[in-house]
Structure 1
Amino acid sequence: MDAMMMGVMSDEMMSMPGGATMDMTMMQACMDACAACEQACTMCAMEMMSCAPACMNCADMCHTMMRSMLRMQGMTPPVMMAMLDACIAMCQMCMDECMEHTGDAVCQMCAQACQACMDACMAVKESMAA
């Protein structure tokens, strides 16, 4: 379903208002990273550690980022950049919190997912700026 949706989106939404273009493969990778981060953060929050609030907020931000990327019509480049910045900031905060629990495998997995999500969001930002 994701591949079908991305095919339709790439045909209809290759450029955003204002002339910015979006690499649909990169966007899909970013959404996948956001989804993985959302799932890891949710699992981590269920451990009831001190990072739970950060993890739940990060999960919510990743979910919002994915939904925004799927609704690109009417999305202006400055708005998309702000959303990507917010997602990157939330992932950084969550990763920092989870890294404090070095002995917990779930927290380590969550921190890795946050890093991957940040990397994917930064790649999308860089492609939009080019």
Structure 2
Amino acid sequence: MTAEMRDMPGMPAMDAEVVRACLDALAACEQACTVCAMELMSCAPACMNCADMCNTMMRAMLRMRGMTPAALMAMLDACIAMCQACEDECREHAAESAVCDMCAQACRACADACMAVKDAMIAAA
């Protein structure tokens, strides 16, 4: 985490490891969803949407300028919801597709990492 991220007015100081883990999970989920979307199963739209959301969440967390705690919380909630929806869709195909199973696992890990950031923000406030 950069000093800029720690020193944003109105933003609580967040644990750098929690933020790094979330960024890593977002990147992994974006990649898994992109690969899964290419399988052209019925989960493809959910995977594409989740990949886009993870990419947007990553860019926002890295930029941080103009971000308020309320805005970050809302984005984290949206990302968690998108990951959960994609996980649910991919779980339906996980038995037949290793790619869908990988994607579902990445979505679960990403939702958990986003929740950890939310928890860290609440604890730091």
Shorter-chain TM-score tier? over 0.9
Identity %: 72
Q: Which runs of 5+ in 2 are unaligned?
A: none
- 1:104 equivalent to 2:85? Answer no
The equivalent residue for 1:119 is 112
1:80 to 58, 72, 76: 72
Alignment of structure 1 residues 1-130 onto 2, 5 Å? 6=1, 9=2, 11-101=3-93, 102-130=95-123
Q: What is the TM-score when the length of structure 1 is the normalising length?
A: 0.90
**Contact 1:33/1:113 (CA < 8 Å) preserved in 2?**
yes
**What TM-score do the two structures reach when normalised by structure 2?**
0.93
Give the C-alpha shift of residue 19 in structure 1: 4.6
Deviations, residues 12-66 of structure 1 (Å, cap 9, x unaligned): 3314432522222211110110000000001100000000000000000000000
Unaligned runs of 5+ in 1: 1-5
Question: Which stretches of structure 1, 4 residues or more, deviate above 3 A after TM superposition?
Answer: none
**In structure 1, C-alpha distance between the alignment counterparts of 2:76 and 2:100, rounded to whole Å:** 23
